[in-house]
Structure formats: C-alpha cells, structure tokens
Amino acid sequence: MRPAYDNAHDDTHDDAYYTAHDDAYDVVVVGARLAGAGTALLLARFGLRVLLVDRGRPGADTLSTHALMRAGVLQLSRWGLLDEVIAAGTPPVRRAVFRYGDGVVPVDVKASYGVHALYAPRRTVLDSIVVNAASTAGVHVRFGITVTDVQRGRGGEVTGVVGRTRDGSDFGARARIVVGADGIRSTMAERVGAPVERAGASVAAITYGYWTGLTTDGYEWNFRADATSGAIPTNDGRVCVFAGASPGRIGRGGMEPLRQIVAASSPDLATRLAAATPPAALRTFTGRPGHLRRSWGPGWALVGDAGYFKDPLTTHGMTDALRDAELLARAIVDVVAGGADECAALAAYQRTRDTLSTTFFELTDIVAGHRWGDGEIRDLLLRVNAAMADEVATLAALPPLPGAGAAHS
Ligand SMILES: Cc1cc2nc3c(=O)[nH]c(=O)nc-3n(C[C@H](O)[C@H](O)[C@H](O)COP(=O)(O)OP(=O)(O)OC[C@H]3O[C@@H](n4cnc5c(N)ncnc54)[C@H](O)[C@@H]3O)c2cc1C
C-alpha cells in the first residue's frame, strides 16, 4: 500500500522542492516508522510543530516479522488507528497455540481493555497508516533525508540535525528537541553519545517468509531447546512463517534451515507447510544482542529500537515502539507546551520505559539464547506474559489523547 500523504514528500521524486535550509520546529524526529511516526503523530495532535524525516521511501517494507501483542493493539486503538488496520484486511488473531516439547497449549485471546483480538499487519500497511495519520495531524513529513549529525548550541545542547537529501543537497533543521527514532543502528544515538546502560548477551538469527494457502488458527509459537518457529497470519491471505536459532544454525537463512527447524519444533506445522505455496525468497536477520541505551540528554531523546532493542523472538519491538512513542510524546509536550523541566520530564520518560522493559529484556535474552530446556520454557513464557500484563495496565491508565476519536470497541 503506497500512502497518499497530504504534505509528505519523497525527496527522490521531488528534488526541486527542497533545497538546503534550516527550518525551526518544536521537535524534529529522525526515523519515520512506528516509534518515530507514532511520536510525531502524538506531538502534532498536542499542537506542536513537528518535522519527521526518514532516509527511506514512503510505504517501504523493512526486515521484520510483525506480530503485535495486546499493548500494541491497545495503542493503535487508543490512537484511533485500529479500524484502519482492520479495514486494510488484516485478519484478527483470536488464539495463540504454544508447542513446547510434547505439549500443545492453545490460549484464546480474551477481550480486555477494549482489545478483542490481536493483529499482525504487514509493515507496509501499518507503518504507512501511522505516517499518514501523522501527516494528517500536521506533521511535516519528508522522506529521502539521511541525517548525519546533530547541531549543538553553545552549552553543548542539541539544537537540530544536519544531513543530506537523496540528490546530495545539504539539509538542516533546528528544533527545541530532537528525537532519534532511527532504529537499531541509530546514527542519532552515536552522534549524541548515548551509552548502552544494559546489554544483552544472546544473539539469535531468524529466517522468514510468506506462504499462501497455509491454514492456521491464530499465532503459532513452537519452542524446542535449540530452536523456535512460528506462524503469523497477515494481510492478503498470507502467513508469515519463521524459524529462529543460533546464527550458526540459521547461517545465511533460506528454505533449508527453516524447513528443518519447523519439522523439529512442530511436525504439524511442517505438514501444513508442505501443502501450501512457498515464497520465492526468504528474508534473514543474522542477529544482534539487545541494548537499553540512555535515552535522553539536553535537547535530545531516543525512542524505539534506537534506545531499546531486544531480540525479535519475543515479538515485542513494535509494541514497545508504540508504547514508548506515547510515553516520550507526553514528556516532550510537558516540556515544550507545559514548561516542565526538560531533564526531569525526559528522565521520567526513560524511568517508566525501563521499569516496563527491564524484566522483559532479561527474559527475552534468556529465550533468545536458548538457555532453557523443554521443561523451563513454559515458565519463562508465563513470566513474559506477566510483564506484558503490567505494560497493558500502565497504558490503559494513561489519559485520553487529543484527536484520537473513540477507541475501537
Ligand atoms: C527479523 C525481525 C523480526 C521482528 N519481528 C517482530 C515481531 O513479530 N513483532 C514485533 O513487535 N517486533 C518485531 N521485530 C522488532 C521490530 O521490527 C522493531 O522493534 C521495530 O521496527 C522498531 O521500530 P522503530 O521505529 O524503532 O525502528 P525502525 O522500524 O528500524 O525504523 C527506523 C527508521 O529510521 C530510518 N533511519 C535510520 N537511520 C536514519 C538516518 N540516519 N536518517 C534518516 N532516517 C534514518 C530508517 O530508514 C527507518 O525507516 C522484529 C525485528 C526483526 C529484525
């Protein structure tokens, strides 16, 4: 789905529109996917002047499977975007089936906090919906801009960003606060010198692709002592099937390791996979240890994977991006519109993020390192589930947002 932003420009196709300039905003957000577009959207709804830039192209896919957990769906509902996700043909997920060792445990998705089902929209669908909403809320959206550095004031505080457009022109923008939402290998984190405060020890690799004609009954998660696999129903009648294991076992990825791991972790899924139409190619993530970075300083903040990344095996990065976008947006609004002390507000943002994340981060590191046996994984996943319940309760207790319309019911 290619979005029709009303004020967005892909600088690739519109080189003449932008030349080097140095506009001033309340907030510049670098990175226009879930964390960045979400933050920008909420800031604009609170009335701030926001520039959102991304080096990519509008509506592009990214290296990620896309299972949302309850808190992520709750956020889309609270922001008034869930109906659009559903209207895009994203199938509801009403059950998750866990297979550990010899046990099969189906879990129905219970309705709570107004969330009746989970969803796993393709990133081409979901990221576009959030960027489009940001644009509609008044965010100035610009694709084709690579940010290369920050600008600093006399006291060393961050006052803006510089970079280049895709045609090689210089780019600059000033802002009261600059937000780095530029993903795992964040340039912003590097340029502001944000230290890693907690690092993961585990690295898992994932290979995945999209099958058609594959029958599923919701999310499927299969755990074996040395590998995991799963199935995630998504748009266009497709099912994302993935296999995760040590980088050595996944190697360069592809059909062979995926079929082997699926067969070992769920013969049932392997049989259904054999009867379905496979994709032409698979995508492979070669793994990266988790990090929790310091995520604020004078004039800057980090959100999403830029500040907090954990292994994808617990499928929670998108949900966290939607969660932390709101936590950060509220802190920035308090500073820019409410006159709150910047250090106190941004530090509180990170504190809440870390409180909600630390247990999850540590559990994910154990799951991703496959440091468990068949008898332990169930307990680990129950603890993951408890951490998710705390997160949902925290988000549900936040005040309503301006301009979000009625939450999905
Ligand atoms: C293999 C894999 C599977 C995953 N599966 C799931 C899952 O099932 N469920 C789930 O919840 N999460 C999953 N995740 C995690 C999820 O993809 C991330 O947590 C999420 O995308 C983070 O969003 P973000 O907005 O922080 O960053 P990103 O989505 O990485 O977006 C960053 C953006 O910043 C832009 N950018 C980067 N540098 C610059 C620059 N210098 N200048 C301008 N723009 C820049 C990029 O173009 C990009 O658009 C998975 C991740 C991987 C790798």
Decide if 35 contacts 321 (C-beta within 8 A): yes
Residue 357 has pLDDT above 50, yes or no: yes
- Contact yes or no for 58/143 (Cβ under 8 A): yes
- State the average pLDDT for the chain: 92
Ligand 1 atom closest to residue 72's alpha carbon, by position in its atom list: 11
Q: What is the Å distance from ligand 1's center to 118 Cα? A: 20
- Selected from 2.60.120.10, 3.40.50.720, 3.10.350.10, 3.30.9.40, the CATH number assigned to the domain covering 204-285 reads 3.30.9.40
**How far is Cα 47 from Cα 390, in angstroms, rounded to an integer?**
30
Task: List the residue whose alpha carbon is closest to atom 21 of ligand 1.
Answer: 318
What pLDDT does 23 receive? 67
pLDDT band at 5 (very low <50, low <70, confident <90, very high): very low
What are phi and psi for residue 285, nearest 5 degrees? -105, 120
pLDDT in tens, 58-91: 999 999 999 999 999 999 999 999 999 999 999 9
The pLDDT, as a whole number, for residue 205 is 96
CA of 388 to the centre of ligand 1 (A): 20
pLDDT at 4 over 60: no
Give the separation between CA 262 and CA 273, rounded to whole angstroms: 9
Give the ligand 1 atom nearest the CA of 232: 8
Q: Give strand ranges (E) for 213-275.
A: 219-224, 227-233, 238-245
Nearest CA to ligand 1 atom 26: 304
Residues with CB under 6 A from ligand 1: 30-36, 53-56, 62-67, 145-147, 181-183, 187, 206, 285, 304-306, 312, 315-319, 321
Q: Which residues contact 14 (CB under 8 A, 6 or more apart)?
A: none
SS3 content of the chain, % helix, strand, coil (to 5): 35, 25, 35
The Cβ of residue 406 has, within 10 Å, a number of other Cβ atoms equal to 10
Average pLDDT over residues 253-275: 96
Q: Give the tens place of pLDDT for each residue, 304-331.
A: 999 999 999 999 999 999 999 999 999 9
Distance between CA atoms of residues 203 and 311, nearest Å? 7
Residue 177, sorted as left (phi over 0), alpha (psi -120 to 50) or beta, turns out to be: beta
| 3-state SS assignment for residue 22 | strand
DSSP state of 146: E
3-state SS class at 285:
strand
pLDDT of residue 142: 98
For a mutational test of ligand 1's pocket, the pick from 54, 64, 127, i.e. the residue with the most ligand atoms closer than 8 A to its C-beta, is 64
Three-state secondary-structure class, residue 268: helix
Q: Measured between alpha carbons, how far is 347 from 29 in angstroms, rounded to an integer?
A: 18
Between CA 26 and CA 238 the distance in angstroms is: 41
Residue nearest to atom 15 of ligand 1 (CA): 317
Strand partners, 172: 22, 162
> What's the 154 CA to ligand 1 centre distance in angstroms?
33
Q: Which CATH class is domain 9-63+123-200+289-396?
A: alpha beta
The protein residue with its alpha carbon nearest to ligand 1, atom 2, reads: 64
Distance 309 CA to ligand 1 centre (A): 9
Mean pLDDT, rounded, for 94-99: 96
Work out the pLDDT band at 374, boundaries 50, 70, 90: confident
Tell me the DSSP string of 306-375: GTEE--GGG--HHHHHHHHHHHHHHHHHHHHTT---HHHHHHHHHHHHHHHHHHHHHHHHHHHTT---TT
The reported pTM is: 0.94
* Residue owning the nearest CA to atom 3 of ligand 1: 64
CB 173 within 8 A of CB 146: no
Pick the range with the lowest mean pLDDT from 56-65, 241-250, 398-407: 398-407
Question: In the predicted model, what is the mean pLDDT of residues 275-282?
Answer: 97
Distance in Å, CA 33 to ligand 1 centroid:
7
CB-CB contact of 190 with 40 (8 Å)? no
* Higher local confidence (pLDDT), 24 or 182: 182
Query: Of the candidates 285, 68, 332, which has an alpha carbon nearest to the alpha carbon of residue 180?
Result: 332
CA of 5 relative to ligand 1 center, distance in Å: 21
Average pLDDT, integer, range 123-141: 98
Distance (Å, whole) CA 249 – CA 261: 9
Ordered by start, the domain boundaries in the chain are: 9-63+123-200+289-396, 204-285
Give yes or no for residue 3 having a pLDDT over 50.
no
pLDDT at 226: 87
Angle, helices 317-336/34-45, rounded to nearest 10 degrees: 30
- By most ligand atoms within 8 Å of CB, the mutation choice from 65, 129, 146, 187 for ligand 1 is 65
Encode pLDDT of 209-222 as tens digits: 999 999 998 999 99
Count other C-beta atoms under 10 Å from residue 350's C-beta. Answer: 24
* pLDDT of 11: 45
- Residues above pLDDT 70, as percent of the chain: 93
- Indicate which atom in ligand 1 lies nearest the CA of residue 317: 19
